[in-house]
Amino acid sequence: MTRRLTLAERLAAADKDHTLEQIAAASTWDRFLVEQAVFAVGLANDTFSANLLRDLLPEMGHGFIGSAINSLRTAGILEHTGQMVPSTSGPTHGHRISVWRLSVKGLLIAEARRPRKAAA
């Protein structure tokens, strides 16, 4: 027999669903910008976590960080380092989050995007 949810659990679930709806309703342009920010942070840092990204992005971009990282990981552009660090986001109460780096594929994409110097 399933347990009945408390009022607090029902309200938390409704709030979570509302937040996910807001993220899904946001423009693809916002998601694209966050993906670009994740890639740029990967270029500038050997390793990074969502903590660093939250510090760099405006509040409206925070909801896209996880999906941007997952998208780049699925595409083979990011890889997990095997390390975890405590989250600095207050609502997460310090739960552990992954540390990432650009994969070989990500580094090759970065190299291909660098402007070539003209021969003198």
pTM tops 0.95, yes or no: no
Each residue's pLDDT, cut to its tens digit, for the chain (120 residues) gives 577 767 666 666 666 655 555 555 556 767 788 888 899 999 999 999 999 988 888 776 667 888 889 889 999 999 999 999 998 887 777 789 999 999 999 999 888 888 776 665
Q: How far apart are CA 73 and CA 63, in angstroms?
A: 17
Instruction: Enter the DSSP assignment of 115.
Output: P
Let me know: does 83 contact 47? Beta carbons within 8 Å. Answer: yes
Q: How far apart are CA 45 and CA 89, in angstroms?
A: 20
Phi, psi for 5 (deg, rounded to 5): -75, 145
Rounded to 5°, the CA angle 42-100-89 comes to 100
